[in-house]
Amino acid sequence: MAKVHVTTTINGEPEEFLCEPHQSMLDALRGPLGLTGSKEGCGTGDCGACSITLDGRLVCSCLMLAVEAEGKKIGTIEGLAQGDHLHPLQQKFLEWGALQCGICTPGVLVAAKALLEKNPDPTETEVRFWLAGNLCRCTGYDKIVRAVLETAADMRRAA
């Protein structure tokens, strides 16, 4: 099958790649684009380990076709830090120890960032429901939720 040429923007940089018409965005990221920070936990939209943003909206990249990236803006975990300057969420996750194995962490961080952009002052319940699409089997979620709430408070103070 002929490959499709896709022109897109990834983490603010213009990017082109070739993909199969049926290839998922996750496979394109992890394969030709070499961005293995997005993880595959299920491939069926149930774990959130592959979370990215598509024009600012949170999506599971395993459920998106790579060709759908054409002309869009993609945000992945690799774009969270600015150079060696970690995003406040990344820093807070390290301080709280909000990760154990860390396989869910990229997806959780991308999802949490999308939440705080929409809602800078979420309640615990709002954080829990927003992150309900991101499975974590290690932490019991406690420190993840605390880290997100505390980052939100810090960012509000800094704003």
CB of 38 to other proteins, least distance (A): 7
Residue 65, phi then psi, degrees to nearest 5: -80, 145
Longest CA–CA separation in the chain, Å:
53
Q: Which is nearer to ligand FES, 7 or 44 (CB)?
A: 44
Residues 6+ apart with CB under 8 A from 157: none
Report which DSSP code applies to 85.
Answer: B
Q: First CA to last CA across the chain, in angstroms?
A: 50
Residues that bind other proteins (CB under 8 A): 30, 35-44, 46-47, 49, 76-78, 80-81, 86, 90, 93-97, 99-106, 109, 125, 127-129, 131-146
CB nearer to ligand FES: give 8 or 61.
61
Interface contacts to ligand FES, rule CB under 6 A: 40-43, 45-50, 60, 62, 99-104, 136-139
Could you write out the DSSP letters of every residue in 94-151? HHHT--SS-SSHHHHHHHHHHHHHH-SS--HHHHHHHGGGS--SSSTTHHHHHHHHHH
Q: Which does 132 bind (CB under 5 to 8 A by kind): other proteins, ligand FES, none?
A: other proteins
Q: Nearest approach, Cβ of 73 to other proteins (angstroms)?
A: 18
Partner touching 70 among other proteins, ligand FES, none, CB below 5 to 8 Å by kind: none
Shortest distance in whole angstroms from residue 63 CB to ligand FES: 6
